[in-house]
Amino acid sequence: MENTQTQQRVSSAKVSKMSEKKKDMISGYLYVAPFFIVFGIIGLYPAIFSIVLAFQKWNGLGEMDYVGFSNFAIVLQDPLFWKSLYNTVIIGLMGTAPQLIVGIILAYFLNMAVIRFTNFFRVTIFMPYITSMVAVALVFGVFFSTNESALANYVIGWFGIDPISWKTSEWGAKIAISLMVFWRWVGYNTIIYLAGLQSIPKDLYEAATIDGANKVQQFLHITIPLLKPFIILTVFMSTVGALQLFAEPTVFLGASAFNRDEAMTVVMYLYRDAFNLGSFGTASATAVLLLIIIIAAAALNTWLTSGVGNKKKRGVK
């Protein structure tokens, strides 16, 4: 009697445990379902559709015609595509590379124990990031207006430089756009580096001081190597972000944005193809090319950044 009772108890416990497991399984699927439904409809389906479209001729209304690789051929033979890629890379380099260096220096200063008012400096240096890209582009658009009396022209006048037509010259437009990218993002990267610096144990520096290492040596041999994961992160994000540049040049140039080529970026080229010229096929081919370029550039830059740190580490040893 007793035996069967315990057996029953055991088996009923087993059953409830099994059903508990099943319940958890159902809950699990149920709770991740909203994301994956959304992802399927507006993420995965459009991504696949885009790749299919890259091989079709289509204006968004009529029938699609399969055209093989000719969309890619059209894009790759278009000088404007290469110009837009060149613009994107140049603006990306000028806008992000200095940002990372200045960001590290500012973060290093903000992390110094003897410095006061760090919270004030941190908030003001971060503040540009909260303004929208459109707002930044409009403010800088007036600052760098084509006008001879533009504030930017007044400032370069101090250094004896003649007024520049910022919105219509090859380098004027690129410099102005790079500067607004720099201004908006430098504080963001400073904050990330600051978090990285704060994660470095203080006693490493104390030990280095005892060993007679000066501040510069400490910076190069302790700070930079230990900051490497954070540097890789910012380089990755800057690379991906820079290749997707759209709002700043579009808004900065206003009405003439899609008619000029000094600051046309790859995304602007794609947008113009799709929505101004109605050629969805070539625009999709550009989108696929952009995806490949972004993956390649992000991989290359991440690899390069990790390489730099490694060499330094070997140097120390």
Partner 1 sequence: MKQNNKKTSRSGTLPVYIVLTLASILSLFPFYWMFVMATQPSAAYNSIPPTLLPGGMLIENFQKVLDTIPFFQAMWNTVLLCTTVTVAVLIISSLSGFAFAKFHFPGKNFLFICILLTMVIPPQLGLIPQYYLISQLGWLDTLLGAGVLFLLNPLGIFLMRQYISQSVPDELMEAAKLDGCSNFRIYRSIVLPIIKPAFATLGIIVFTLVWGEFLWQFTVLRDPSSYTLQVALASLNNAFRVDFGMLLSGVFWATVPLIVIFLIFNKWFISSITEGSIK
Angle subtended by helix axes 280-316 and 224-243, to nearest 10:
170
Q: Are 75 and 81 in contact (CB under 8 A)?
A: yes
Q: Cβ of residue 18: shortest distance to partner 1, in angstroms?
A: 13
What single-letter amino acid sits at 220? L
Contact 147, 153 (CB under 8 A): yes
Q: Which is nearer to partner 1, 174 or 273 (CB)?
A: 273
Nearer to partner 1, 97 or 133 (CB): 133
CB of 220 to partner 1, least distance (A): 18
What are the residue ranges of helices labelled H in 54-169?
70-76, 79-110, 118-126, 133-143, 151-158
Quick one: 16 or 316, whose CB is closer to partner 1?
A: 16
First to last CA, the chain: 75
Q: Which residues, 6+ apart, have CB-to-CB distance to 82 below 8 Å?
A: none
Query: Minimum distance from CB of 267 to partner 1 (Å)?
Result: 5
Dihedrals phi, psi of 56, to nearest 5 degrees: -120, 160
How many other β-carbons are positioned within 10 Å of the β-carbon of residue 297? 17
C-beta of 166 vs 188, nearer to partner 1: 188
Half-sphere CA count of 188, side-chain side, radius 13 A: 16
Give the CA distances from residue 278 to residues 56, 60, 70, 270, 275, in Å, rounded to whole numbers and listed in that order.
Answer: 13, 7, 17, 11, 5
Nearer to partner 1, 243 or 263 (CB): 243
DSSP category for residue 254: G
Q: From the centroid of its chain, how far is CA 136? A: 17
Please state the closest distance from residue 193 (CB atom) to partner 1, in A. Answer: 10
The percent helix, strand, coil of the chain (3-state, each to 5) is 80, 0, 20
Cβ atoms of residues 80 and 89 within 8 Å: no
Beta strand pairing call for 56-57 and 65-66: antiparallel
Least separation in angstroms between CB 123 and partner 1: 5
Cβ proximity to partner 1: between 18 and 112 the closer is 112
Select 80 or 316, whichever has its Cβ closest to partner 1: 80
Supply the minimum distance, in Å, between the C-beta of residue 10 and partner 1.
18
Q: Which is nearer to partner 1, 53 or 75 (CB)?
A: 53
Q: How far is the CB of 291 from partner 1 (least distance, A)?
A: 5
Q: Minimal distance in Å, beta carbon 1 to partner 1?
A: 28
